[in-house]
Structure formats: structure tokens, C-alpha cells
Structure 1
Amino acid sequence: MREHFIWVTTRRIRPGTLEEFERAWRPDPYPEGLRHAYAYWTEDEQEITGVSFWDSKEACDSWRASEGESHRRAVMAPYVVEEREGFYRGRELAVPVR
């Protein structure tokens, strides 16, 4: 099975700011080595978990240390109340066909 490199960030944001936060959250340009990115939010729209899939840990680390990511975090800062993040390696689980 193919191994995946994943960066997960969960942020609690200020009430009523989801739309503005999402505009600030999207990187421009998209980072080198980023393959897929997903966003999931709670019903109250105050907690967002971003899951991004990378070519390698080095590609993700390079983006995290970049000027582009520093700028993106500065633009998001007015909306963010709390933030947690982690980097993971893993594989897809085989779900039996029913």
C-alpha cells in the first residue's frame, strides 16, 4: 500500500468569520509538493480541520518554513482563536466490500 504524508491543522475561529477565514486560508500560489487538500468544519462553523497530502515530509516542511506560509498565517491571524497541528505518515485502510 502506498504511504501518505499528511499535515493536519485544526483551528478554532471567531464566530461568523468562516467565509473570510476561508479566503485567507487558501495559499496563493499553491505549494510545491502539495497533492490534495481538504477542509472540514463543525456545524457551528467555529472549528476547521485542514488535511493536506504531500509528496514528502520535506516538501511539507519546506512550505511550512516558507515566506508564503508566513504571509498566509499573518492574513489568517485576525480570525484564529486557537490552533493545533501535526504531521503524520500513514496508509489507506482497506474497507471490506459489503
Structure 2
Amino acid sequence: MGKLQIGNNGSSYRANKRRSLVRTIRKRQATFLGHVMSRRKLEHLVITGKFEGKRSRGRQREKIMDGLATWLGPGKVSDILPAVKDMDLWRDMIANAYKQGT
């Protein structure tokens, strides 16, 4: 019984599947963000607000807003928040980022 070996074609196929999965997840996160930001409720406050107190020790967790900011292009959260208010602009930003596949 030998080892199961995967050639270059198989590994590149798996990598492409992973990239498309990450792209789909980012798109869903962005559309959910647009949904949450369109209403001024508790979820909106949680995403845009700051908490009092100390930060916990160790490496800080990556924030969803920071990940979306790099995926969408502008690079800063402060650039994204005004764009979310304009629904057509927000949809175009999501579509362009999804097409680029980054």
C-alpha cells in the first residue's frame, strides 16, 4: 500500500476552490454589512462603536471591517462607512471586488 499522491493539477484545483470560497464569504460579509448599516439599530452600534476599558493581552483579533476594507479596495474603514449609505455605490464596490477575486 503506497501513499496517495496528488499531482500539481489536483493541488491547484484545491487552491482555486479555496480562493473562490474565500471570495464568496467576503461577498456575503459585505452584503450583510450593507444590510446592518442601512438600519440604525443595535447591530449598527456594535459595528461602528467603541468599547470602554482595556484591550485584552496578546495578539488582537482581526476585525471584520478591516478585512472588508482591504478586500474592497479603499483600505480604511472610514472610507467604507459613507459608501455603505449609498446603496448603488455599495453594490458596485462589492461587484467589482468580487470580479477581481482578491
Shorter-chain TM-score range: under 0.3
TM-score by length of structure 1 reads 0.27
More helix per residue: 2
Whichever of the two has the greater Rg, that structure is 2
Normalising by structure 2, what TM-score? Answer: 0.26
User: Larger relative contact order (C-alpha < 8 A, sep ≥ 6)?
Assistant: 1
Bigger fraction of residues in strand = 1
